[in-house]
A = this chain, B = another copy of it.
């Protein structure tokens, strides 16, 4: 309501002095500062950030693009992004794209129109991002993949999934089912690579009949698991590309009267909270969600401030967690 002019008048100084007192106190004498601050309190002055941002041509906010905020893994990453951003004086604009490139485009426009200073992309949809075409604005991929161009922070999805698959093979499993996400999804691509590599290394054939596709939702896990069971070739283990599909799969298997892990082993990816509390607790890969978020913000802000990034790509360690959803193959 009150503006800088009013404060200046009340304190008997110029607006410039008020501005300086608030932004660069070291340039103002203590006596004047006191007078200004008193006036500020008197009228309960709050600087108009809309004006300040406009003037400095910065919005001090970041867009975080996420396919679905209701996905607990993404929620974890976002939580840490928000925390770090706030700490650095930035706000985060939530962009739930629902895997719609149109919505994604709308949010890109937000930074083109200066309403945001940069974009944190948790999962790309648009060809623009796919193609890795350079944007004119600061952006960064989080939890992204090998093939991604541009700066990113991620884990080695291929390696992690390879390790998981190798583990199943080491347990004696020969017919390993796979429940994937949508195939154009970068995560899907990388994890698939790891799956196939482990199979090859283990001397096992890659049988497309053992692959069922989902979309990373619980429900799709249920469907995919059912499809796998009805395919005739009963797998003794099912590797899922995320925890939610694994949870769905377990439920479907149980509904069919199969026991997990005695009859079928099931594995997930992400280590969401429920992975630990489902029955049986899930063998999975833990991604360092907190670290990813924090690092992502830091790296984006570096770009924003014109500092060159020390490295374009930050690959973080993951953790392989064995719980009770996996067991030796029953032969």
Contact = CB atoms under 8 A, between A and B. Distances in A.
The secondary structure that dominates the A interface is helix
Interface in A213-247: 218, 244, 247
A75 B70 contact: yes
Interface residues of A, number: 49
A78 B47 CA distance: 29
A49 B86 contact: no
A72 interface: yes
Contact of A79 (B70, B86, B244): B70
Nearest to A254: B279
Interface stretch (A24-32, A88-96, A121-129): A88-96
Contacts of A59: 50
A16 interface: no
A110 interface: yes
Interface in A60-77: 61, 64, 68-70, 72, 75-76
A247 B276 CA distance: 11
Given A51-B54, A251-B279, 12 more contacts: A46-B114, A49-B113, A49-B114, A50-B114, A51-B114, A53-B115, A72-B72, A91-B115, A92-B94, A93-B94, A247-B274, A247-B277
